[in-house]
Amino acid sequence: MAVHSAVNGTTAIPWRSSRKMLTLLEQLKGCQQAWCPGAPWDREGAHRAVSGTPTGSFLIVRDSAASQPSVLCVSGGENDAVLDYTIKTTGTVFQLSDSRLSFSDLAQLVFFYSLTRDVLDVALSIPKWIYSVTDKNKGRLSQLEPKTWLCTPPDQRADEMTQKEPSTAMCSIQLTSSNGALCIINPLYLREHGDEWLTHRVPASQGVALKRERRISSTRAWAGAGIQCKRAISLDQEGCAASAEGSGLTRAQSADSPHGPEATAEEVGASTGVVLRRPSREDVSTLPQRLSTESLTVMSHSNRGSLTSLGSDVQHGSPVPMSPHRVSWIEDGVWLAPPRPSSLLQPPSLELDSLSISSMEEEQEFQASSSPSHHPSAHRLADKVINRLSAVGQVLGGLVCPKQRLINRVQELSERKGGSFADTVKGFVEATLKKGADSDGATGSEFLQEVRSSLTTLREALLDYPEIQTLLDSITDLNELEIESLVELSLHKVAVKPISAHLYSCINIARSKDGTFERLQSKLLVLEKNEVEGLGGSPGVGVPDCAALDRIQQRWTRMHEAYSPNKKVHFLLKVCKSIYECMSANSSSAGKVFGADDFLPCLTWVLLRSNLITLQIDTDYMMELLDPTQLQGEGGYYLTTLYAALYYISSFQPRLATRQLSVEAQNSINQWHRRRTLHCDQSRRSKSRRTIRRQACRDRASQNPSTDPEGRGESEKDDDSVGADEAQQGAGGGAGLQPLSEEKEAEQEVGDESLTPSSASSARMQDVRNKRADSKTLWAWEDQQR
Amino acid sequence: MSSRGSGGRSNGTLPQTKICQFKLVLLGDMAVGKSSLVLRFVKGQFDEFQETTIGAAFLAQSVCLDDTTVKFEIWDTAGQERYHSLAPMYYRGAQAAIVVFDITKPETLERAKAWVKELQRQASPNIVIALAGNKADLAEKRLVEYEEAQTYAEDTGLLFMETSAKTAMNVNELFLAIAKKMPKTDTQNPTHAARHRGVNLQDPDAHSSRACCGGN
């Protein structure tokens, strides 16, 4: 692309040549008068000056009245065309009117659009001479004229740059256009941390260590909480075992480094905090090389059609950076951290880090078989395309959604031969498949509660894995609970998917045994003739028509097909939304908003026209297997409502007082209490970030379900802790134990509830949504999991 | 119960705003205006804090006190007698409840009293209960005197206000009064507070179609 020639290759700064080198951003700021002159420069003047200059040359002119930057004039290169872009200024924030990206100062805007054209037709070109400006002569910058600014032919720079060896090119910005893929490194990150790591030839071990150290220190800086440090340390310790057994990587670790984020590269490099050593080629590997070879590996893998997790990374990532050149992924927030006061872009190494470790493992396996990258010519090739590939690698690192990478990584961990997590998962799956509702008289509910408890254990174990930790640390915009939720979701694919069919059949057996299905079927016959008014709905409320009912049935089907309880809730919410729409659309009183008075009857009406058996199974599945924190919020509300409606149907007694409960109903509710109480407690424990030893986990997985002491302890407490401090200890309902003669009382006792964790997951998801300012929730992400 | 994650991953650079989140359940007879009351609260004011939900039976809304943002997750219940037995599923774990009656229908106050009694027996021991005499705009049809409900509320230890979802009378006041009564010991991760400030990078509606990259 001719358009990109100006930014192709490596933009170099002779970093070491001066004691105090200015970053490009500082340089740009220094000469802002040159590219953003004040009066008398106007648009016409700028056009005249820019016209005929090399593509990408630009000036910004100010509004004559407000003196605010108003128009960006860019040389289009052909026919002396000059392209104008309006700059919007909101308070102290600048943005191009066509773009949603905002910048806190003009230099950042310019800098960004010199790296990627985004909404521009051409990327901005920054004159080459600016790179030679150092601390000493920076005073001259401010005296520059726009004419001087425009006079340097920018192509010259690109030519020079491409011939430079990476070892000598001290890069501040390394970027390449490879099939249109651009890599952008946050200038603010460079300003903060230096850019030496990009090209400085260090042994790979040191490079990685440096990188890792930086990651730790930087996350620590953001986290600003002791918990982060603690976790990093313990993980590193665990990392010795985990990575060694999994991949042959050895990881040596010294004491936790005291360096804060402001530590310079040299300092960090000198006191290596963590050493991640590769058995081969470590001395010749530079960071870019590593990236490039791993990219090679990646490409080879995908070429061979390999469906390794990294291969799928590529599949996910590669379509994105292709044309068109618009960096929609930045605007979409994949790359961007939530707005911070000082930085709009995420530090690049956070993204790269997680990619690299796994890729090195991939690489090793690959080398063991065919080893093309060991071949000298391959090496030369790697050198030649180093920038391209490193850019690709970096783009992939930045592009592949961290959440998707988490799924891939968890999958990888669970498949790794001899890995402890793989063993644990395997043990869990096998043990679960052996057990069932019919063993030892355990009810389906109790069995599922054990599964839930094991899932929580697995999640805790996962959170303790250094590889997962590394990845999670790169996701800086989620809090602890959101992280847990994310890991939970990634766990579903490896741990829940293999057992879901078995769980269905267990619920089926249990619900057949306890007569729920039978009751549902018989009550269906009684109730199905009811219109919504007969179910208590207010007159005139709309119900789904045939077409809508069909769509709802399809969603129920998809809900049943989903193995992840979270995914099921996602479909449940879709159904509920359809029902709401029909309630309003088919209502006789237009514009009325319907609350629970009408929604519950309408949902019941819909249920009576759906497969109640399957729905009961799915409801149990969700209720029992959802992480307890998810039982709140919107998802929790509608799941409760679904449960309630099914329960209403199955316990319908037309001739009796509606407020009395059958024994079965009491038992049902009582069970429900117990589950939640149990889970509450687990969740609280998990918050204390208790490290769960894998051995213990394995033991537990092979244990007989009825010997779980915690579970039993909880259920015992159920009966005696009425009035206890519920925030601490859920007071379980004693409803099931009430004699039938006290029906009214019993009904009241049913309400004896425990509190669920207030950390509502749905709310949390809304938080995520809000923070990322889009409507893609974890649910949506979860869509992709299947 | 209102404890949130202690924010180990927060970036810690923003001033601390306490965010407390509470589950609030709405009880009361059918058609006393439970949903209208909440809709008035959610849609009427504080637009900036409004969160979208799929329907009116579950709504979330935040109110700002001095140094605290109190977020309510509002669980509506079906008021029909036939669904009464389902209510415990809804009010379990609720830290606040609004029991609504219709000042034009005395029987709804009786029902409200039954709810209050049940809540005081069954719900969380520290639950904050508010009694709302709704439809106060229908003064000419009033059949429940203010004093009667007021006396009952005092005797029972409830917050009490007469409200009108139609005119918005006392609606925000009611929720504010509840918010003030809530224990605010726990804070939420400060990053949550961050979303209300800082540089606005995106149009709020510009991202509805975003899918995570790499779907297969």
pLDDT class of A105 with cuts at 50, 70, 90? confident
On whether residue B152 sits in a domain, the answer given is yes
CATH class for the region spanning A24-150? alpha beta
Give the number of A-B residue pairs with CB atoms closer than 8 Å: 322
Report d(CA A600, CA A549) in Å as an integer. Answer: 16
Report d(CA A110, CA A126) in Å as an integer. Answer: 9
Could you tell me the pTM of the whole model? 0.51
- B91 contacts in chain A (CB < 8 Å): 751, 753
173-202 of A, contacting B, C-beta below 8 A:
none
To the nearest whole angstrom, how far is the Cα of B192 from the nearest Cα of chain A?
A: 7
B10 contacts chain A (CB < 8 A): yes
Contact A659 B81 (CB under 8 A): yes
Closest residue to A480, CB basis, from B9, B122, B215: B9
Mean of the pLDDT values across residues B72-85?
94
Beta-carbon contacts of B72 under 8 Å, excluding residues fewer than 6 positions away, are: B21, B22, B23, B24, B60, B61, B62, B63, B96, B175, B178, B179
Structure tokens at A306: 């390999």
Res A175: pLDDT: 40
On whether residue B186 sits in a domain, the answer given is no
pLDDT class of A136 with cuts at 50, 70, 90? low
566-595 of A, contacting B, C-beta below 8 A:
573, 576-577, 579-580, 593-595
Mean of the pLDDT values across residues A506-526?
90
Mean pLDDT, rounded, of chain A:
62
A260 contacts chain B (CB < 8 A): no
Mean of the pLDDT values across residues A668-685?
50
pLDDT class of A670 with cuts at 50, 70, 90? low
The bridge status of strand B128-134 relative to strand B96-102 is parallel
Res A92: pLDDT: 77
Q: Which tens digits make up the pLDDT trace of A697-732?
A: 444 444 444 433 443 333 333 333 333 333 333 333
Res B32: pLDDT: 94
Q: What number does CATH give the domain A515-682?
A: 1.20.1050.80
Minimum mean pLDDT range among A473-477, A628-632, B162-166:
A473-477
B48 contacts chain A (CB < 8 A): no
To the nearest whole angstrom, how far is the Cα of B167 from the nearest Cα of chain A?
A: 16
pLDDT class of A123 with cuts at 50, 70, 90? confident
Res A419: pLDDT: 83
On whether residue B7 sits in a domain, the answer given is no
Res A662: pLDDT: 53
On whether residue B205 sits in a domain, the answer given is no
Report d(CA A248, CA A363) in Å as an integer. Answer: 12
Cis bond upstream, residue A324 (ω within 30): yes
Report d(CA A200, CA A133) in Å as an integer. Answer: 21
Domain count, chain B: 1
Mean of the pLDDT values across residues A327-346?
34
Res A674: pLDDT: 55
Res A636: pLDDT: 94
Which residue range forms the structural domain that includes residue B154?
Answer: 18-181
What single DSSP character describes residue A22? Answer: P
Instruction: Give A745 or A142, the one with higher predicted confidence.
Output: A142
Structure tokens at A479: 């809090």
Mean pLDDT, rounded, of chain B:
79
Residue type, A674: R
Best mutation target among A101, A479, A643, A745 (most B Cβ atoms within 10 Å) is: A479
Strand partners, B71: B21, B62
| Residue B175 pLDDT > 60 | yes
Minimum mean pLDDT range among A54-63, A394-403, A499-508:
A394-403
A679 contacts chain B (CB < 8 A): no
B121 contacts chain A (CB < 8 A): yes
Contact A751 B123 (CB under 8 A): yes
| Residue A200 pLDDT > 80 | no
| Residue B185 pLDDT > 60 | yes
pLDDT class of A109 with cuts at 50, 70, 90? confident
A663 contacts chain B (CB < 8 A): no
pLDDT class of B85 with cuts at 50, 70, 90? very high
Question: What CATH number does residue B117 fall under?
Answer: 3.40.50.300
Contact A749 B122 (CB under 8 A): yes
Mean of the pLDDT values across residues A458-471?
86
Q: Which tens digits make up the pLDDT trace of A137-162?
A: 666 777 777 777 777 544 444 444 44
Report d(CA B193, CA B27) in Å as an integer. Answer: 30
| Residue A218 pLDDT > 60 | no
On whether residue B206 sits in a domain, the answer given is no
- B3 contacts in chain A (CB < 8 Å): 757-759
pLDDT class of A746 with cuts at 50, 70, 90? very low
Q: Which tens digits make up the pLDDT trace of A431-444?
A: 888 887 555 555 67
To the nearest whole angstrom, how far is the Cα of A484 from the nearest Cα of chain B?
A: 10
A89 contacts chain B (CB < 8 A): no
User: Which helix (H) or strand (E) element contains residue B130?
Assistant: strand B128-134
| Residue A362 pLDDT > 70 | no
To the nearest whole angstrom, how far is the Cα of A152 from the nearest Cα of chain B?
A: 34
B180 contacts chain A (CB < 8 A): no
| Residue B174 pLDDT > 90 | yes
On whether residue B173 sits in a domain, the answer given is yes
Minimum mean pLDDT range among A23-27, A345-349, A542-546, B86-90:
A345-349
Minimum mean pLDDT range among A131-135, A193-197, A626-630:
A193-197
Structure tokens at A279: 């058995």
Contact B21 A767 (CB under 8 A): no
Q: Which tens digits make up the pLDDT trace of B115-148?
A: 999 999 999 999 999 999 999 999 999 999 999 9
Q: Distance of CA A224 to CAs A49, A166, A230, A273, A490, Å?
A: 49, 36, 12, 19, 27
- A316 contacts in chain B (CB < 8 Å): 213-216
Contact B85 A750 (CB under 8 A): yes
